[in-house]
Amino acid sequence: MSTSDRIAICAGSFDPPTNGHLDVVRRAARLFHRVIVAVLVNSEKQPWFAADERVAMLVESLEDAGVEVATFHGLLVDFAHAHGASVLVRGLRTATEYADEQQMAMMNRHLGGIDTLFIPASPEVAFISSRMVKDVVRHGGAVDGLVPAPVARRLAARGASATGKL
């Protein structure tokens, strides 16, 4: 496989998708022939948005990026193999995050022989996380500049209250 044929996977829960997520995905799209954004479906978690809603928000937010969006459950390496991917892309916001991400990268390498490429977050979005966005929403704060417009619209449409129940 030539480098021009390389397929990359950008995986996460994306609950909700943030401008930080979009930054990493768009940058990966410039590096790889094909990028698949893989939305984790985990029955053990209680996400704010159902998987199909997260997919829809990502599709709307990334319509100009030339990427695909799909859901997966189970092992990410199995999903990657099924789609012919040769690399996983992960964004890093802080040095502290690197330890956990490195351990996950080594496990994915062990399980499926797939390498991980770390892309440092752009400084203007490095402070954004889905968890922090949820905290802002729970406390009635504005999410301008933190999430793409399709996400902000869905947060508003769902009537996010100060209690954080969506």
Q: Which residues are catalytic?
A: 21, 45, 93, 130
Q: Which of 87, 81, 149 is nearest to 114 (CA)?
A: 87
Tell me if residue 50 falls in helix, strand or coil: coil
Cα-based distances in Å from 99 to 64, 96, 105, 165? 33, 6, 10, 32
**Distance separating alpha carbons of residues 113 and 93, to the nearest angstrom:** 25
Q: For residue 62, what are its two tokens?
A: 């990334």
- Exposed/middle/buried for 81, CB within 10 Å: 0-12, 13-18, 19+? middle
**Distance separating alpha carbons of residues 81 and 148, to the nearest angstrom:** 30
Q: Which of 116, 120, 123, 165 is nearest to 140 (CA)?
A: 165
Are 127 and 93 within 8 A, CB to CB?
yes
Tell me if residue 165 falls in helix, strand or coil: coil
